[in-house]
């Protein structure tokens, strides 16, 4: 890249590019239509999560631990959508795939930050369902608003420290060969792997983040549901079992929407190397689709939220 050769600040052997070139979607057939699709996803995601915000904030009946967790998930979905898709739209509208070094690090931080919050919030919601079904008589003692606020504060603080460390570690890398990032955003892996000095610290942090945000949460959720299924097996009637399990339906759907595409990408990469466009499209969809679907899953599968929507519609009809 000529811009790479001309726009670098370097100190002897250390090279820091002024810009990165985001190569994702460069050779994508029908790329314009895919950008139109992503714009549609963006609009639906922003609208859906905004509705969830308003409903939970304005209705005091939803000011309980479960819905505080759902509010936090919607906040993370809203943040990730805005961290990812507007940058892609800028690339499409202005036909520019360059991003400044500082803006790239900022994009990396917020994209991974909000994605990490999503993952850990799903663990918090799994814990909520575990206590509600396995220890129903102690639920309001263990899980209350103060408890959930403290836990979610820890989630955000932990994410800030770990993702901040991951991003700061990029600043110690020298990019003396290329500034081309083979992804659709400032992805950590494709950036640290093009460095020409020692990137072992970045490799370690990448594996640590994978453990904390994919394997660890998934294991915690699986263990929570094993405990739930064990508790349900002690209930004598199928009607009571199904009634209790129905309260987990929305959470299970959201967990599936979030984790299954990610696991599919990892497994596919282990079996055989995929074409770069296939990998990039799969990764972009796994980031864009969950924030769009989550509001609908909770809205259509949760009795309390459906009740709030009906109440809001009745008020609007009455006023008009």
In this predicted structure, the answer to whether residue 7 has a pLDDT above a threshold of 60 is no
A 10 A CB-CB count for 84 gives: 25
Alpha-carbon gap, residue 307 to 287, rounded angstroms: 30
In this predicted structure, the answer to whether residue 262 has a pLDDT above a threshold of 90 is no
Cβ atoms of residues 99 and 154 within 8 Å: no
Domains and CATH numbers, the chain: 18-319 (1.20.1070.10)
Out of 21-35, 101-115, 301-315, least confident range: 301-315
In this predicted structure, the answer to whether residue 2 has a pLDDT above a threshold of 50 is no
Q: Which of 79, 83, 85 is nearest to 43 (CA)?
A: 85
* Mean pLDDT along residues 158-168: 96
pLDDT at 241: 79
Out of 47-61, 127-141, 290-304, least confident range: 290-304
In this structure, the strands spanning 180-181 and 19-22 are parallel
pLDDT at 8: 47
In this prediction, residue 258 has a pLDDT band, given cuts at 50, 70 and 90, of: very high
Cβ atoms of residues 101 and 18 within 8 Å: yes
Two tokens, residue 181: 């990032």
A 10 A CB-CB count for 286 gives: 19
């Amino acid at each position: 890249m000529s811009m790479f050769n001309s726009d670098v600040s370097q100190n002897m052997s250390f090279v820091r590019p002024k810009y990165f070139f985001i190569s994702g979607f460069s050779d994508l057939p029908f790329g314009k239509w895919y950008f139109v699709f992503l714009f549609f996803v963006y609009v639906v995601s922003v609208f859906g999560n905004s509705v969830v915000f308003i409903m939970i904030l304005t209705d005091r009946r939803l000011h309980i631990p479960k819905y505080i967790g759902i509010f936090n998930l919607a906040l993370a979905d809203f943040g990730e959508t805005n961290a990812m898709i507007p940058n892609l739209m800028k690339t499409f509208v202005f036909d520019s795939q360059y991003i400044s070094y500082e803006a790239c690090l900022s994009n990396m931080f917020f994209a991974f930050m909000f994605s990490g919050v999503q993952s850990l919030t799903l663990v918090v919601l799994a814990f909520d369902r575990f206590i509600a079904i396995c220890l129903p008589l102690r639920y309001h003692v263990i899980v209350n608003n103060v408890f959930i606020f403290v836990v979610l504060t820890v989630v955000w603080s932990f994410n800030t420290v770990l993702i901040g460390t991951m991003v700061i570690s990029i600043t110690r890398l020298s990019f003396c060969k290329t500034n081309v990032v083979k992804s659709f955003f400032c992805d950590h892996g494709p950036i640290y792997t093009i460095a020409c000095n020692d990137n072992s610290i970045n490799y370690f942090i990448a594996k640590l983040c994978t453990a904390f945000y994919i394997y660890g949460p998934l294991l915690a959720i699986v263990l929570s549901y094993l405990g739930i299924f064990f508790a349900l097996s002690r209930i004598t009637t199928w009607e009571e079992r199904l009634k209790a399990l129905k309260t987990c339906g929305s959470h299970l759907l959201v967990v599936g929407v979030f984790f299954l595409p990610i696991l599919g990408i990892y497994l596919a990469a282990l079996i055989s190397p995929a074409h770069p466009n296939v990998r990039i499209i799969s990764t972009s969809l796994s980031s864009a689709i969950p924030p769009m679907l989550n509001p609908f899953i909770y809205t259509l599968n949760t009795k309390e939220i459906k009740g709030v929507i009906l109440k809001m519609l009745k008020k609007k009809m009455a006023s008009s």
